[in-house]
Chains A and B, each alone.
Chain A
Amino acid sequence: MTAMALHGVHHTARPTWKLKETVEFYRDKLGLKLVHAISARGWGPIQHPDFLHFFFESGRGSTIAFFYYIGHAQPEYLRAVDCFDYDAIHTAWSVETEAELVGWKDALKMKGVEVVMDVQHELIRSIYMRDPNGYLVEITFQNRPFTPLDHADAARTITAAIAMEERERSGGEKFAGIEAVWNEKANRLDTEVEWV
């Protein structure tokens, strides 16, 4: 059996209702090459409209793709809303140096693209912008690789958080905030390690 391994992103895809503006943004402003476009009759589900499905190259073999459904009005449930949980759906591209990230920020400004945030996270610095549909797009520089310690800590955090989720699901205390996770992690570390 072939080993189950993945080798990076081929594409992510979202719908667009602004064809011209989408191409102008990704190809002309961000400089991503338009590398493939499918134009087809609707097929599959009977109500599927005719469509375009097109791809912009975003480095290391990855692409960002869009669907444009011809004659299909944008449903209310797919309208971009200015809210954190909507913005959770986003694409983040890598650059290799912080200088490159700053270069992107300057270049975007020159091209009239507003950088809406520039945030130093724990081990990445990211700039954010919005595309013509209102989708959040991110460019990020990671200043150190993930280490085995990051992996182990991630497992501890998520294990503790799942325990809190399970507790609520089984009728126990509500999972109301992150403090419960931190308490749980501390409880486990208290007993796992001989500290004195």
Chain B
Amino acid sequence: MPRVYVLDVLEFKPVVDAAKTMPDVQLSGPKLGYYRIDTRGDLILNRRAMKLPPAVWYGAMTGGVSGRIAEWSMDSLRIVSKG
């Protein structure tokens, strides 16, 4: 299962808010200042939907990624299971 950690700061809040609307997602935390997002299938995020500026978007996974980044474009990110 893909998993990401999101730093609990204002800039990355849209990622946490997006997780709340995803199907088959488990949102945990914040603990130690991080939210944890686990998804059953691929973890997919859309920059425009989250209204993230590009410079924030390309650093939004800085909390940590458990999985493999299969796609990352200007607007779309897909993280898949590592296995």
Contact = CB atoms under 8 A, between A and B. Distances in A.
Interface of A: 119-123, 144, 147, 149-150, 152-153, 157, 179, 182-190, 192-193, 195-196
B10 A144 contact: yes
A195 to B, nearest CB: 5
Main SS at interface, chain A: helix
Contacts of B32: 152, 189, 192-193
9 contacts: A120-B56, A122-B56, A123-B10, A149-B7, A153-B63, A182-B63, A186-B5, A186-B64, A195-B28
Nearest to A148: B33
Contacts of B62: 153, 157, 182, 185
B24 interface: no
Interface residues of B, number: 27
Contacts, number: 73
B50 to A, nearest CB: 14
Contacts of B5: 185-186, 189
A147 B33 CA distance: 11
Contacts of A195: 28-29, 31, 36
B53 interface: yes
A121 B56 contact: yes
A185 B64 contact: yes
Nearest to A126: B55
Nearest to B72: A179
B69 to A, nearest CB: 5
